[in-house]
Structure 1
Amino acid sequence: MSTRRIVARLPSAKTIATGFMIGYKLVFDKVSKDGSGKCDCEHTGSVGDRVYGVIFVVLCSERAAFDRFEGVGTGYKPSAVRVDTDAGEMSALTYVATNRQSGLPPYAWYKQHVLVGAHEANLPEDYVRKIEAAIAINDPDLTRTGKDNSASR
């Protein structure tokens, strides 16, 4: 959700809306190549669960790069979804984890990227608090940690 991180990877990216999907929840259960947990919107079917996010529009010519950044074929698959926004219901593409492990903690720098995006998008405070409450661990690769922390500021 971090606009700076998305635009650094996909220069055409423009935010068009924020919204939510009912019957989903945010979890960090996607097994990453580095062994940490990454975000996933897990379908629960419960009307009490909501996952919030940002809808970006990108050039079709950047789609292959987007898929590569998101890990299509190595842990995520694209999925068409309907998102409730202030402007009404919209169709969007999200990436759903295909390789999951419950209870997998994210690295602290990754969780920070998620929080930066949540704050930028002015997501509901109770939702942001749930992200803040997620247990995160330190990345043993200090080079990666420093690089990714500076990118989220």
Structure 2
Amino acid sequence: MLCFAYGSNMSTQRLAARIPARFVTTALLPAYRLAFHQQGGDGSGKCDIVTASEQSAVYGVVWEVASHHKVTLDRYEGLNAAYDETWLTVTDLVGDEQFEVQAYVGKLTTTGMQPYTWYKHHVLAGAREHGLPTTYVRALEQIDARIDPDTERHAREMVLHGLDELLVRGA
């Protein structure tokens, strides 16, 4: 099955730490916007997609996931508790081909949420790795993030990218 990742799962390292998946393409989801208002179990903001004007769009990565691994991904994403799933049509950034994809949509949204710096780093790493448009990456860079008070979790998450946690503490 094809899954559309628009948050931390855009990062190959992040997703590979959870499940095996095959990269298919980068894609655009029109008439949606990205929001960091999904309430994470750790008290921070996670990514969500929200319907918006026709001029808005969310960029992301299409992954092919085996059905037996999808169950594990559903567990990580908190399917039916934190997120619901939906089916959407996205357009390939390279050849204008359309794909029917599964995506997670937030259920526990709260205004004023901020991601932890390590979570924002996963999102940015995936966006850069897959060559999302520069203006989109710059907008992601402008998202306010806060330091995770759980320094062990911060270090655990940052090691996925081979980064010294002290160097990226505020990144």
TM over 0.5: yes
Q: Percent identity?
A: 37
Q: Cα offset for 1:74?
A: 2.3
| Counterpart position of 1:136 | 145
Counterpart amino acid of residue 141 in structure 1: D
How far off is 1:152 after superposition? 2.8
- Number of paired residues? 151
What letter is aligned with 1:131? Answer: L
Cα distance, 1:8 vs. partner? 1.9
The residue that corresponds to 1:97 in the other structure is 106
The residue matched to 1:128 in structure 2 has which SS?
helix
CA RMSD of aligned residues (A): 0.9
Are 1:78 and 1:93, in contact at CA under 8 Å, matched by a contact in 2?
A: yes
Q: Is residue 58 from structure 1 mapped to residue 76 from structure 2 by the alignment?
A: no
- Counterpart-to-counterpart distance in 1, 2:135 and 2:158: 24
The 10-residue stretch of structure 1 (117-126 or 79-88) with the greater mean CA deviation from structure 2: 79-88
Distance 1:57 1:142 in 2: 33
Cα drift, residue 65 of structure 1: 0.2
Could you say what secondary structure the match of 1:9 adopts?
coil
Do the aligned residues in 2 keep the contact of 1:107 with 1:139 (CA within 8 Å)? yes
Residues 108-123 of structure 1 correspond to what in structure 2 (within 5 A)? 108-123=117-132
Match of 1:18 in 2: 26
- Aligned-partner SS, 1:123: coil
Give the equivalent residue in structure 2 for 1:37. Answer: 45
Partners of 1:2 and 1:152 within 8 A in 2: no
TM-score (norm 1): 0.95
Question: Aligned-pair distance for 1:69?
Answer: 1.1
After TM superposition, the score normalised by the length of structure 2 is 0.86
Distance between the aligned counterparts of 1:82 and 1:91, measured in 2? 5
Per-residue CA deviations over 1:30-69 (Å, capped at 9, x if unaligned) read 001111000011111x111010000000111111101011
Amino acid at match of 1:142: T
AA partner of residue 64 (structure 1): V
AA paired with 1:33? G
Assess if the C-alpha contact under 8 Å between 1:119 and 1:128 holds in 2: yes
Distance 2:153 2:13 in 1: 17
